[in-house]
Structure 1
Amino acid sequence: MSSRRRIAVIGAGYWGPNLARNFRASTDWELAYICDLDTERAQRVADSVGGVPVTASLDEVLADSSVDAVAIATPARTHHPIALAALDAGKHVIVEKPLADTRAKGVEMVERARERGLVLMTDHTFCYTPAVLKIRELIADGYLGDILFVDSVRINLGLIQPDVDVFWDLAPHDLSILDFVLPGGLDVTSVAAQGADPLKTGKSCIGYLTIPLRSGGIAHVHVNWLSPTKIRQMVIGGTKRTLVWDDLNPQQRVSVYDRGVDLALQSKETADSQASNVSYRLGDTWAPALPEQEALANVAAEFAAAIREDRAARTSGESGLRVLSVLEAVALSQQVHGAPAPVATEI
């Protein structure tokens, strides 16, 4: 008997074809269905991966006892009802970001998966790129030291979304990466966010998000739909080294700088001469070799491993919930003109 599990992709729009292609190519999975209300669109996706059954009926997919899991790639407002129906049918679930369109719905999804003893995974795809996996490894090994700051920039001349602002559209990528690589994850109690809508679209097109870290450091995320240039860059500064991730530089995505500021310990008596105790470290720059792997292939492998090993996925439903919690706090902060807003943590 085959050890591969059977999965159905729900949604054949923007992201569904990518999921279908990677699950079809995976040695862990057998692609069982493409499900979409638009069966012609679903058929095109099915044909592109060599043929697979197509249906417009979610009920048909969930009633099939041979289907072990579903991958949801539908609009965010539909994630909650589809995921709950799948979990109630005994299927493991992976959901594209964001986990849901509200934190309350995300909480219900996490609780239902826990009750059913099933894996609920958030498809935070960037977390499975070779670059971000290496960043996680370097931080976990203490190579950067204690994290002092994170500066993240995700800007482009992008499509203004009809239903969400720039924070909900772009910031989930940066937030999910922070949750994945930082020790303790996205463990924050408050955030401050300022958004601007210079085009009068009714939603923020430019956003600046400040996140105090429990360690005493700080993270800053800049998102923008109106920039004529595209930048995807994150700088992570530690007490030992600083790392720069430039996702648009395929020759050198990750650079590690042995450069920084060393501040000698001083007594109160010498506090006035602080400048004399500061030294600047100017060491080597190193670029780690990264394997050529498609992130979604790693996503498919991790989903299968979490089910097989009966454990939470590395980007679990709880991870998706932490991102949702920050996004809702961002909305609250904008309502009070950038004042800090609390981040909900209770489930």
Structure 2
Amino acid sequence: MSDLLRVAVVGAGYWGPNLARTFKASGDCELAVICDLDVSKAQRVADRIGGAPVTADLAAVLHDPTIDAVAIATPARTHHPIVMASLRAGKHVMVEKPLADTRERGLEMVELARHQGLVLMADHTYCYTPAVLKIRDLIAEGELGDILFVDSVRINLGLIQPDVDVFWDLAPHDLSIMDFVLPGGLAATSVSAHGSDPLGTGKSCVGYLAMPLECGAMAHIHVNWLSPTKIRQMVIGGTKRTLVWDDLNPQQRLSVYDRGVDIAAVSKATAADARAAHISYRLGDTWAPALPEREALAGVVAELAASVRERRAPRTSGESGLLVLAVLEAATASLAVAGAPLPVTHHTLEEGFVR
């Protein structure tokens, strides 16, 4: 690899233009080409960012020895064949969420990347926002104590996707964030999913996920394409403090509340003299951590380049994408049996870094 990582962006639809713009502006990468079956669409993207080569020939891109990596922003059902072809051609790969349209196909992608000694990175962009990075630090430093619950809401009047339901479209954001910030990662033991299709689209447009975690906490996610109001909020409650992340409030994205139930007092309820037990509420200060202003996608691009140069797994690796797929598949199965909780199937891969 030269000093700059030469990257091809595949897909010029919704997310591809953002990737092309960010790679074009990066000091770590060079935008080698924009590839789309509709070459006129690729050309419009190139024109908006100050110019870049365009093509409709993916095979030519993959056979170009000067291209180091491929960033894929195409429909989920196409991820597997494009990723597999890219890895076989010796290219490092970054792919937007979800990693694949099934866990089995995602596993094939991860295993091939390991066999080839190549980076496979999931573009879990939210994990590179200053707010989520700060949440991860606060939890790791013990500021919240032991995690008791995670409650996430991601709703808006959004585009109904042709190939996935609302769970597969929106929930990967919240699931990848949980995997990134929680000490045990996305260690869901089971999933209960309830969805509705009031528009008769043939897929869930409103959905709720409930997931007990191995650490004893409960996680809940609400996703919705039909809400006239837009909400992007996550509440993480711990034994010491509770954190609220409001992504739509640029003045105060994070708030930490030193309020809650005194767990030590509640535990007295198990004492022999139950009359001595009482619930104590803690009413402390609220504070807002200072956050730097920087674009998350620039962090994604920088991490791709760094993981390739340092021959290591990226922060949001293919394995993290697999965890998300495992939960989504369990949710789909739960929907089919009226929301009954079903176990999450995980594959344990051998520990190791890119060769």
Which TM-score band applies after superposition, normalised by the shorter structure? Answer: over 0.9
Query: Which range moves more in the overlay, 86-95 or 153-162?
Result: 153-162
Alpha-carbon separation, structure 2, partners of 1:15 and 1:232: 19
Closer, same or farther: CA 304–263 of 1 in aligned 2, 3 Å: same
Q: Tell me which residue corresponds to 2:307.
A: 306
Once the two structures are superposed, residues 286-324 of structure 1 have per-residue CA deviations (whole angstroms, 9 ceiling, x without a partner) of 111111111100000111111111111111001111101
Give the superposition deviation at 1:141: 1.1
Is 1:336 matched with 2:329?
A: no
Secondary structure of residue in 2 paired with 1:154 = strand
Alpha-carbon separation, structure 2, partners of 1:263 and 1:86: 52
**TM-score of the pair, normalised by structure 2:** 0.95
Give the superposition deviation at 1:272: 4.4
User: Is the contact made by 2:34 and 2:42 (CA closer than 8 Å) also made in structure 1?
Assistant: yes
Q: What is the aligned residue count?
A: 345
Q: Tell me which residue corresponds to 2:213.
A: 213
Q: Tell me which residue corresponds to 1:271.
A: 274
Once the two structures are superposed, residues 75-103 of structure 1 have per-residue CA deviations (whole angstroms, 9 ceiling, x without a partner) of 11111111111111111000000101111
Letter of the 1:268 counterpart: A
Is 1:66 matched with 2:69?
A: no
Q: Tell me which residue corresponds to 1:318.
A: 319
Give the superposition deviation at 1:190: 1.0
Letter of the 2:343 counterpart: P
CA RMSD, 1 decimal: 1.3
Q: Tell me which residue corresponds to 2:16.
A: 16
Query: Which range moves more in the overlay, 101-110 or 160-169?
Result: 160-169
Q: Tell me which residue corresponds to 2:232.
A: 232
Q: Please show how residues 90-239 of structure 1 align to structure 2 within 5 Å.
A: 90-239=90-239
Alpha-carbon separation, structure 2, partners of 1:161 and 1:89: 31
Give the superposition deviation at 1:196: 1.5
Give the superposition deviation at 1:162: 2.3
Q: List runs of 5+ in structure 2 lacking aligned partners.
A: 349-355
Secondary structure of residue in 1 paired with 2:80 = helix
Give the superposition deviation at 1:273: 3.7
Query: Which range moves more in the overlay, 262-271 or 181-190?
Result: 262-271
Alpha-carbon separation, structure 1, partners of 2:210 and 2:281: 27
Give the superposition deviation at 1:194: 0.9
User: Is the contact made by 2:259 and 2:281 (CA closer than 8 Å) also made in structure 1?
Assistant: yes
Q: List runs of 5+ in structure 1 lacking aligned partners.
A: none
Identity value in percent: 74
Q: Tell me which residue corresponds to 1:55.
A: 55
Q: Tell me which residue corresponds to 2:7.
A: 7
Alpha-carbon separation, structure 1, partners of 2:227 and 2:275: 44
**TM-score of the pair, normalised by structure 1:** 0.97
Alpha-carbon separation, structure 1, partners of 2:322 and 2:149: 23
Alpha-carbon separation, structure 1, partners of 2:62 and 2:328: 31
